[in-house]
Amino acid sequence: MLDSLKLYLKLIRINIRSQMQYKASFILFTIGNLVVTIIEFVAILVLFARFGSLQGWQLEEVAMFYGLINIGYVLSEAFGRGFDTFDLQVISGEFDRVLLRPRATELQIIAHDFLLLRFGRFLQGLAIFMWASVNLGIIWNPAKVVLLIFSVIGGIAVFTGLLIMQATMCFWSTQSLEVMNSFTYGGVYALQWPLPILNRWFASFFIFVVPVACVNYFPLLAIMEKPDVLQSPLWFQWTSPIVGVIFLMVSLAVWRFGVRHYRSTGS
Partner 1 sequence: MKAYISIFRLRVAVQLQYRAAAAAALFTQFFFGFVIIMVYHAFYASSSQVQPMSLQQAVAYAWLGQATFRMQPWNGDQEVMAMIRSGNVAYEMCRPLNLYFLWYSRLVSLRLVPTMMTGIPMFIVVLFLPTGFKAALPVSAAAGGAWFLSIFMALLLGCAISNLITISSMWTIAGDGMQRIFPAVIMVLSGLIVPLAFFPDRLQQLLRFLPFSGLVDIPFRFYLGMIPASDIFSLGLLQLFWTGVFVIIGIRLVSMGMKRVVVQGG
Q: Is 193 in the site for partner 1 (CB under 8 A)?
A: yes
Picking from 166, 176, 175, 221, the residue whose alpha carbon sits closest to that of residue 195 is 221
> Residue length, the chain?
267
Reference 128, options 190, 225, 39, 215; nearest CA is 39
Evaluate whether 159 touches 77 at the Cβ level (below 8 Å). Answer: yes
CA 112 and chain centroid, separation: 18
Q: Least distance from C-beta 33 to partner 1, angstroms?
A: 7
Q: Is 257 in the site for partner 1 (CB under 8 A)?
A: no
Least distance from partner 1 to the Cβ atom of residue 178, Å: 4
- Out of 3, 17, 23, 55, the only residue in the binding site for partner 1 (CB under 8 A) is 55
Q: What is the rounded distance in angstroms from the CA atom of residue 98 to the CA atom of residue 22? A: 28
Measured distance CA(168)–CA(174) in Å, rounded = 9
Does 190 engage in binding with partner 1 (CB under 8 A)? yes
47 belongs to the binding site for partner 1 (CB under 8 A): yes
Q: Between residue 218 and residue 247, which ones bind partner 1 under the rule CB under 8 A? A: none
Among 43, 88, 91, 143, binds partner 1 (CB under 8 A): 43
Toward partner 1, which CB reaches closer, 108 or 184? 184
What minimum distance in Å lies between the beta carbon of 66 and partner 1? 12
Q: SS3 of 56, please? A: coil
Site string (10-39) toward partner 1, x via CB under 8 A:
---------------x--xx-xxx-xx--x
Three-state DSSP class for residue 53: coil
CA terminus-to-terminus distance, the chain: 33
Among 5, 14, 46, 234, binds partner 1 (CB under 8 A): 46
Confirm or reject binding of residue 53 to partner 1 (CB under 8 A).
yes
Q: CB–CB of 247/211 below 8 Å?
A: yes
**Residues of the shown chain interacting with partner 1 in the complex, contacts defined by CB under 8 A:** 25, 28-29, 31-33, 35-36, 39-40, 42-43, 46-47, 49-56, 175, 178-179, 181-182, 185-186, 189-190, 193, 197-199, 202
